[in-house]
């Protein structure tokens, strides 16, 4: 008796595809399983302004808005969007592609209109998620998807910074993170980083002084030193001390990095903090916005063997924390007016009900409007954290 070979799962077939052939493989699988006729993968550009189609190099497809239209709505709202088009008996399904809270783009699939029942749309969404995980892995072996994200060339400093970042978002039951950097194609010294374990979340926002490649090299050393210390299992204050020593050893105080270090206890909401410089932190609780006042300590690398002290504060279920670098809260307009706390508070209040990704982007958009031109002269980093608390724990 012959036993037929089991049919490989979607995940297995996507994993088996060559890194550059994920879109073609996805199209074939979607045609087989859902009768799909057209499949387009759109990836968000570095500035999160447009979604760009992944095509053979050189990329020739036309981008679409990351905020408007069916695809943009799917990306922003993180929900499938069904579009009725002129082609009879079909519908175009736009599916957000997100990996552990990091928004990558949108998968657009044209299927028979008889195949757009909720169950099918749910399975299509699961397919998009599986594709997203493979895109993340494939990006280590091909430049295809990184190139598809660019509307123009990155500076060398920006290339280094984007390779250093963990992503632009992260999500667990206890929290949701959304972050944004600008100028996206010329960022130099600003950075954010995070790492999660079973019981803790460590989050840092770093602003390396200077511009361009010098700032990028400084920040790369600072983030590398912080990661090395974190992975050694030392306390938050000792992480700051070790990174401080690494920077001072290299630059002898001529260059330094302002850094905010936070370590969340996922079970209790207790936060340990070290404010080593200028990034500012705001907490939104209900309709109230308050600055989290931390003791300002010296930036990393300014002096030899600086000792750092931890402080603690508490977050409660429903709280939102927003960290902003100097380039976000201290930038001046052409007339000399500082962006400042009042404008920042207005934006945070207006975006209270939006997801963290959109809040972070809105702060940067407000900053660009304030300075009155498309590119910032100083780097700006914004990180927004929605705190849900551990499931089952009463506040």
Domains, in order of start, for the chain: 10-149 (3.30.450.40), 156-387 (3.60.40.10)
Q: Is the pLDDT of residue 3 over 60?
A: no
| Closest of 297, 163, 179, 192 to residue 240, by C-alpha | 297
- 391 or 149: which carries more pLDDT confidence? 149
Please state, in angstroms and rounded to a whole number, the distance separating the CA atoms of residues 190 and 170.
Answer: 18
The reported pLDDT for the residue numbered 131 is: 98
| Closest of 208, 244, 269 to residue 395, by C-alpha | 269
Q: Is the pLDDT of residue 393 over 80?
A: no
Please state, in angstroms and rounded to a whole number, the distance separating the CA atoms of residues 221 and 239.
Answer: 13
Q: What is the pLDDT of residues 334-387, one digit of tens each?
A: 555 666 777 888 999 999 999 999 999 999 888 888 776 666 667 899 999 999
Q: Is the pLDDT of residue 279 over 80?
A: yes
Q: Is the pLDDT of residue 332 over 70?
A: no
The reported pLDDT for the residue numbered 1 is: 43
- Which three-class secondary structure state does DSSP give residue 4? coil
Task: Give me the residues paired with residue 202 across strands.
Answer: 195, 263
The reported pLDDT for the residue numbered 275 is: 97
Spell out the alpha helix ranges (H) of 60-169: 69-77, 118-138, 144-148, 156-164
The reported pLDDT for the residue numbered 368 is: 80
Q: Assign 234 a pLDDT band (cuts: 50, 70, 90).
A: very high
Q: What is the pLDDT of residues 15-55, one digit of tens each?
A: 999 999 999 999 999 999 999 999 999 999 999 999 999 99
- 79 or 370: which carries more pLDDT confidence? 79
The dihedrals phi and psi of 341, each to the nearest 5 degrees, come to -75, -35
Share of the chain above pLDDT 70, in %: 92
């Amino acid at each position: 008796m012959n036993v037929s070979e089991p049919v490989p799962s979607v995940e297995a077939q996507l994993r088996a595809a060559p890194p550059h052939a994920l879109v073609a493989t996805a199209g074939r699988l979607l045609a087989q399983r859902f009768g799909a006729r057209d499949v387009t993968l759109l990836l968000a550009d570095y500035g999160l302004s447009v979604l760009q189609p992944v095509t053979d190099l050189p990329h020739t497809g036309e981008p679409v808005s990351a905020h408007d239209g069916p695809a943009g709505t799917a990306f922003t709202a993180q929900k499938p969007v069904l579009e009725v088009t002129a082609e009879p008996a079909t519908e175009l399904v736009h599916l957000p592609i997100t990996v552990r809270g990091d928004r990558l783009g949108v998968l657009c699939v044209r299927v028979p209109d008889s195949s757009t029942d909720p169950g099918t749309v749910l399975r299509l969404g699961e397919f998009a998620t599986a594709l997203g995980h493979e895109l993340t892995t494939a990006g280590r072996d091909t430049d295809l998807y990184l190139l598809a994200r660019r509307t123009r060339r990155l500076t060398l400093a920006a290339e280094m910074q984007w390779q250093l970042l963990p992503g632009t978002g992260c999500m667990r039951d206890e929290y949701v993170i959304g972050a944004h950097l600008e100028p996206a194609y010329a960022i130099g010294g600003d950075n954010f980083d995070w790492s999660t374990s079973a019981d803790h979340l460590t989050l840092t926002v770093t602003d390396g002084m200077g511009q361009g490649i010098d700032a990028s090299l400084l920040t790369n050393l600072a983030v590398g030193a912080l990661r090395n210390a974190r992975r050694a299992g030392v306390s938050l204050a000792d992480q700051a001390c070790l990174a401080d020593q690494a920077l001072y050893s290299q630059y002898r105080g001529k260059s330094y990095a302002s850094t905010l270090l936070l370590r969340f206890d996922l079970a209790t909401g207790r936060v340990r903090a070290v404010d080593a410089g200028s990034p500012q932190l705001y907490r939104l609780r209900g309709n109230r916005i308050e600055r989290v006042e931390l003791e300002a300590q010296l930036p990393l690398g300014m002096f030899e063997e600086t000792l750092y002290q931890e402080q603690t504060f508490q977050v409660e279920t429903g709280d939102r924390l927003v960290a902003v670098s100097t380039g976000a809260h201290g930038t001046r307009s052409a007339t000399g007016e500082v962006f400042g706390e009042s404008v920042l508070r207005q934006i945070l209040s207006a975006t209270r009900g939006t997801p963290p990704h959109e809040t972070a982007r809105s702060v940067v958009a407000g900053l660009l409007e304030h300075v009155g031109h498309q590119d910032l002269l100083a780097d700006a980093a914004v990180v927004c954290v929605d705190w849900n608390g551990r499931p089952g724990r009463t506040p």
